Amino acid sequence: MKVGFIGLGNMGSAMARNLIKAGHALTVYNHTPSRAEEFRLLGVTVARTPSEAAAGAEAIITMVANDHAVEDVIFGSGKAIETLPAGAVHISMSTISVALSHRLVVAHRDKKQNFLAAPVFGRPDAAAAAKLFIAAAGPADQIARCQVLFDAMGQKTFIVGDEAPAANVVKVTANFLITTVIESLGEAFALIRKSGVNPEKFLEVLTGSLFAAPIFRTYGGMIAADNFEPVGFSMALGMKDNRLVLAAAEDAAVPLPMASLIRDRMLTATAQGMGEADWAAIARISFQEAGL
Amino acid sequence: MKVGFIGLGNMGSAMARNLIKAGHALTVYNHTPSRAEEFRLLGVTVARTPSEAAAGAEAIITMVANDHAVEDVIFGSGKAIETLPAGAVHISMSTISVALSHRLVVAHRDKKQNFLAAPVFGRPDAAAAAKLFIAAAGPADQIARCQVLFDAMGQKTFIVGDEAPAANVVKVTANFLITTVIESLGEAFALIRKSGVNPEKFLEVLTGSLFAAPIFRTYGGMIAADNFEPVGFSMALGMKDNRLVLAAAEDAAVPLPMASLIRDRMLTATAQGMGEADWAAIARISFQEAGL
Amino acid sequence: MKVGFIGLGNMGSAMARNLIKAGHALTVYNHTPSRAEEFRLLGVTVARTPSEAAAGAEAIITMVANDHAVEDVIFGSGKAIETLPAGAVHISMSTISVALSHRLVVAHRDKKQNFLAAPVFGRPDAAAAAKLFIAAAGPADQIARCQVLFDAMGQKTFIVGDEAPAANVVKVTANFLITTVIESLGEAFALIRKSGVNPEKFLEVLTGSLFAAPIFRTYGGMIAADNFEPVGFSMALGMKDNRLVLAAAEDAAVPLPMASLIRDRMLTATAQGMGEADWAAIARISFQEAGL
Amino acid sequence: MKVGFIGLGNMGSAMARNLIKAGHALTVYNHTPSRAEEFRLLGVTVARTPSEAAAGAEAIITMVANDHAVEDVIFGSGKAIETLPAGAVHISMSTISVALSHRLVVAHRDKKQNFLAAPVFGRPDAAAAAKLFIAAAGPADQIARCQVLFDAMGQKTFIVGDEAPAANVVKVTANFLITTVIESLGEAFALIRKSGVNPEKFLEVLTGSLFAAPIFRTYGGMIAADNFEPVGFSMALGMKDNRLVLAAAEDAAVPLPMASLIRDRMLTATAQGMGEADWAAIARISFQEAGL
């Protein structure tokens, strides 16, 4: 397919590379042009503006930092929405607010364009290995048409509904669940350590029995070792995601006490200089509180 | 081995049966004698008192309802501690407080008996299938000696330390983690449902990606379906376990905000007539709060 | 003084009336013109635009619904900031965000105008009786100059600092404290009632001893009687104020667990149809949770 | 009246002295005999056992550290309940559990004795000045009969019901409200200070307007100054009171999220070496979290 790919950060550049490898014709765009250079060397067309990336494309993919960045490349004169052909599709793959997803549905419909939300689960190494999990939502025919793209980037695509924002709800809610696992492990290991029990033994029990999931192995390992380097996903990004789930829940009038608790933990971590640490470092707040 | 087995509830009777199957010589005791009848029919010796069950045994196993029940069969004149031979071992396999475990260490040492804590993970069906996970702690030689018993009852034994109470800390902390998973899923599905997303689709994403663990499948299935029948583990027992982890944490001066939240949820559920429901029904509180 | 008064809601019209009574020359403006009619009948000049109200004034006072409303009357071409004379002062008396207050400091400084924040404490009846409490902040000379206005509207002016946003911090923090009193009383009366104790007797003990403050009498009375009519301050406005304190605290990296709890309570109340009830009705959530 | 007074700590000795001053005939008892010596010098009879203090008394008053201490002086052979004459009354004035109060009702009824709960509000200086507030509950005739005693010790007696435990519910719930005020002020002053606002100015606004109550002046003063010396009421005693309200609420199936939060704060404070600090020092946890 002829694809305009917007956003070449750690995740985006790995995903774009996999699309190229699968034979798709990409035009790439990045806000900071230098990050597009490696693609130019590969012979890929580098657009100077979002509108150039969208012109003539069958699909554009946005994989950018936040809501503001999506608005910045899509909306307004000279932006992608102006040049994306009628009938083409915008696939939003980064983590954005449910509210923005609703706006995008309407904005693209007004231009007779299509819109899919297809946020991904996985860190940069999974993106590089084309092992992402993709939660896609939107019109079934559009998802079917884009499946070839998803297959090039991920190991599995979950179709969660025919209205795009459903995928964004799924994404922010699943991210919230990740944070609850982190916080619960922080508290649990505070008790384990202060009780004089070997944290590695405890982790072995967990991941060897009921808690045998990647999420417990990954974060349990970091927390048991009290080692949060290297930074995989920063506290600042974690706060952004926490804001997204709290905003979605506020709009839907759903209280999330655990998300509130995690917000307070992340604020505490930030106030104590951990703003750039891995978000799993909120476990350190539990350790401190326990006097460890 | 010659084993006195005390406590023939759903868990205990399944475990005792597996020990018999493995060729061990059991004397069983249960507070309510009728529950021991089936064992008499199997040709097993039925003791009339805990002291009778312990007399001449190489090991006694307690698998009873709570701290009080353990104290009731072990301590005092005419109780098991009086007749258990010096050198024999008491294996406490039910979920008891860390504090009681400390008392048992001392009490048995005074009698030159040994003490192991070896609480189990798994529901009655796992007990029947000899598929329990066992977290054992205490002197290494005693664990080695009892391994043959553990092998007859469980699929895996984790050795978590050489001081018995470590296993009890592990058990109450792991149970706490189960409740955090339940609560987090309750909140998450409240948001999912109120946002109009199909809960089964969301569960599929979770268990098909980062959250591929038995704990998410089991409780996620109940919560996605908003169906908490049949009752596997009651709210009342859940509150008991919540009290155990809060007590252990209080003794160690470790705050556990999530355990506090879950305590409040369970009290709310109890106040609303769900005291005998499955403990996963605390998810219903999240649903109610969201106006579902 | 020559005053442009912007915002004639329940609070603003009472305050404007007291300024007129004290002999000040007012030009009033309200977004919905009909509410200004009663002032026209009093012989007061009614402006058709915010800029008209500010033209030639020594001071303008804004007493409007929220941040958006302040931005709407102050900023932009044809708005008050364009016509307010250099050297004149804008006194922001409604509850606005700390962030907007910072923006106003800069915007007015750029126009060589002055800015004071002087939010008020008190309900409409206190406004009518000129019994408001005013927390003022900004340059000392400007506060001194405006004291005659404050005296006409309030019973006491607290000068809290020489940077205007300080008064907004004080206001949103004090409002947060009001909500903590409401929530704590909701929980307390849930326990009192469910324990079979007469709630009026309990209230008598509180307000007759350590808790002898207006805040406990006002809200304690409503909660003890489980009667939240008539609505003094709505849940929706309460949520707005809760958002303001959480935003100020997030900007300052200060976790406020009680504000998080109250946010969840207000969301629950909203989800259950209490969005237009008095904000003290969050006590009902405590009652419901207790099964009352 | 002929009164056996049991418990001569800071509070009890001041109260006993006021009873003597009012002309009542006291026999005093204290667990540590040395504290009774000053009373011997005043010519007061000093009992060697609780039963001696109760023998022949019209009333006994207990003002001791906790439930255990009450049980220790009242129940069992050779204890006060054995010698207190039929028709006499036991007035429990210290802070005890609601559950123990229920037990005392029954135990005294079985002996044809009477029982009143009359816990007090106030610190030792208020006790010395006979300025305590007393919340009394129990049979009306017994309260009437003991009013002369209450008048000698307090400035006001609130009669909260005709079943003694009602007064204990009132006491533990009011103490809970004190802790909510402390915690809310801790959070509020964290925000105030980190926003660069003068804490004394903020306190002035509070206590000069809606929050004009002793509770805000006392604790607001300590927290604004970040000075918790001298210790008026220790964290350890605060935790005891927190346990009492949580236990009463658990028995009544009433969740108290704020009490749970305060429990976690006190545990954190304890873990950080503040176990003997004034309980208001939980505000320091808010300060620390904010990075102050």
Average pLDDT of span C158-174: 98
Residue B267 with chain C: CB contacts under 8 Å: 289
Please identify, among A162, A178, A204, the residue that sits at the C-terminal boundary of a domain: A162
A288 close to C (CB below 8 A): no
Average pLDDT of span D155-178: 98
Whether B61 and B42 share a structural domain:
yes
Whether C229 and C194 share a structural domain:
yes
Per residue in A254-270, pLDDT (tens digit) is 999 999 999 999 999 99
Burial-class residue C273 by CB neighbours within 10 Å (0-12, 13-18, 19+).
exposed
Residue D170 predicted with pLDDT over 90: yes
Which of the residues D21, D112, D156, D171 is marked catalytic? D171
Q: What are the beta bridge partners of residue D133? A: D121, D156
Please identify, among D163, D191, D209, the residue that sits at the C-terminal boundary of a domain: D163
Residue B233 Cα to chain centre, angstroms: 10
A290 close to D (CB below 8 A): yes
Residue B22 predicted with pLDDT over 80: yes
- pLDDT at position B78 is 80
Number of domains in chain B: 2
Per residue in B255-286, pLDDT (tens digit) is 999 999 999 999 999 999 999 999 999 999 99
Whether A182 and A284 share a structural domain:
yes
- Strand C132-137 and strand C120-121: the pairing is antiparallel
Per residue in A202-229, pLDDT (tens digit) is 999 999 999 998 899 999 999 999 999 9
Q: Is the peptide bond before B257 cis (omega within 30 degrees of 0)?
A: no
Whether B55 and B193 share a structural domain:
no
Please identify, among B163, B197, B222, the residue that sits at the C-terminal boundary of a domain: B163
A17 touches A73 (CB < 8 A): no
Task: Provide the shortest C-alpha distance from residue D269 to chain B (in Å).
Answer: 9
- Among candidate residues C188, C287, C289, the one with its CA nearest the CA of residue B273: C289
- pLDDT at position C195 is 97
B144 close to A (CB below 8 A): no
Percent of chain B at pLDDT > 70 equals: 100
Percent of chain C at pLDDT > 70 equals: 100
- For B87, the 3-state DSSP assignment is coil
Confidence band of B77 (pLDDT split at 50, 70, 90):
confident
Q: Which CATH number do you get for residue D112?
A: 3.40.50.720
A247 close to C (CB below 8 A): no
- pLDDT at position A76 is 77
Active site (catalytic) residues of C: 171
Tokens 């307070």 appear where? A264
Residue A253 with chain C: CB contacts under 8 Å: 267, 270-271
Answer yes or no: do D253 and B265 touch at CB < 8 A. no
C275 touches C255 (CB < 8 A): no
Whether C116 and C176 share a structural domain:
no
What does chain A look like in DSSP terms, one character per residue? -EEEEE--SHHHHHHHHHHHHTT-EEEEE-SSGGGGHHHHHTT-EE-SSHHHHHTT-SEEEE--SSHHHHHHHHSSTTSHHHHSPTT-EEEE-S---HHHHHHHHHHHHHTT-EEEE--EES-HHHHHTT-EEEEEES-HHHHHHHHHHHHHHEEEEEEEESSTHHHHHHHHHHHHHHHHHHHHHHHHHHHHHHTT--HHHHHHHHHTTTT-SHHHHHHHHHHHHT---S-SSBHHHHHHHHHHHHHHHHHTT---HHHHHHHHHHHHHHHTT-TTSBGGGGHHHHHHHTT-
Residue B62 Cα to chain centre, angstroms: 12
Average pLDDT of span A93-116: 97
Question: Catalytic: A171?
Answer: yes
Name D198's Cβ contacts closer than 8 Å, sequence gap at least 6. C160, C161, C166
DSSP C121: E
Answer yes or no: do A185 and B177 touch at CB < 8 A. yes
Confidence band of D123 (pLDDT split at 50, 70, 90):
confident
Per residue in B181-206, pLDDT (tens digit) is 999 999 999 999 999 999 999 999 99
Residue predicted with more confidence, D154 or A123: D154
Task: Provide the shortest C-alpha distance from residue C265 to chain B (in Å).
Answer: 9
Subunits with 3+ Cβ pairs within 8 Å of A are B, C, D
CB atoms within 10 A of CB A59: 23
B261 close to D (CB below 8 A): yes
- Among candidate residues B82, B96, B15, the one with its CA nearest the CA of residue B54: B82
Task: Provide the shortest C-alpha distance from residue A223 to chain C (in Å).
Answer: 22
- Among candidate residues C16, C53, C19, C49, the one with its CA nearest the CA of residue C33: C49
Contact map slice: A 264-283 vs D, CB within 8 A: 264, 267-268, 271-273
Nearest CB among A173, A214, A261 relative to B192 is that of A173
Confidence band of A232 (pLDDT split at 50, 70, 90):
confident
Read off the pTM: 0.96
Whether B90 and B65 share a structural domain:
yes
Residue C21 predicted with pLDDT over 80: yes
Which of the residues A79, A111, A112, A171 is marked catalytic? A171
Confidence band of B225 (pLDDT split at 50, 70, 90):
very high
User: ipTM of the assembly?
Assistant: 0.96
Per residue in D10-39, pLDDT (tens digit) is 999 999 999 999 999 999 999 999 999 999
**Residue A214 tokens, joined:** 């990647």
- pLDDT at position D76 is 77
B254 close to D (CB below 8 A): yes
From A275, which residue of chain C is nearest by alpha-carbon distance? Answer: C253
Mutation test of the interface with chain C: which of D184, D192, D207, choosing the one with the most C Cβ atoms within 10 A? D184
Answer yes or no: do B173 and A191 touch at CB < 8 A. yes
Whether B45 and B183 share a structural domain:
no
Whether B144 and B177 share a structural domain:
no
**Residue C104 tokens, joined:** 């106003």
Whether B115 and B229 share a structural domain:
no
Whether D246 and D200 share a structural domain:
yes
> Which residue range forms the structural domain that includes residue C131?
2-163
From A264, which residue of chain C is nearest by alpha-carbon distance? Answer: C255
Per residue in D32-85, pLDDT (tens digit) is 999 999 999 989 999 999 999 999 999 999 999 999 999 999 997 789 999 999
Per residue in C122-146, pLDDT (tens digit) is 988 999 999 999 999 999 999 999 9
Residue A119 Cα to chain centre, angstroms: 6
Residue D291 with chain A: CB contacts under 8 Å: 271-273
Task: Provide the shortest C-alpha distance from residue C268 to chain A (in Å).
Answer: 6
Per residue in B146-169, pLDDT (tens digit) is 999 999 999 999 999 999 999 999
From D274, which residue of chain B is nearest by alpha-carbon distance? Answer: B253
Residue C76 predicted with pLDDT over 80: no
How many residue contacts between A and C have a Cβ separation below 8 Å? Answer: 39
B203 close to A (CB below 8 A): no
Answer yes or no: do C192 and D206 touch at CB < 8 A. no
Using only C-alpha atoms, chain A has a radius of gyration, in whole angstroms, of 20
Answer yes or no: do C205 and D180 touch at CB < 8 A. no
Whether B105 and B192 share a structural domain:
no
Contact map slice: A 147-186 vs B, CB within 8 A: 156, 158-161, 163, 165-166, 169-170, 173-174, 176-178, 180-181, 183-185
Q: Which CATH number do you get for residue D224?
A: 1.10.1040.10
What's the rounded Cα separation, in Å, for the pair D8 and B110? 39
Confidence band of C228 (pLDDT split at 50, 70, 90):
very high
Average pLDDT of span C271-285: 96
Residue B48 predicted with pLDDT over 80: yes
Whether C276 and C175 share a structural domain:
yes
Residue A264 with chain D: CB contacts under 8 Å: 289
CB atoms within 10 A of CB A139: 15
Nearest CB among B255, B268, B271 relative to D264 is that of B255
How far, in Å, are A278, B286, D39, D115, D142 from residue D150 at the CA level?
Answer: 60, 48, 20, 15, 12
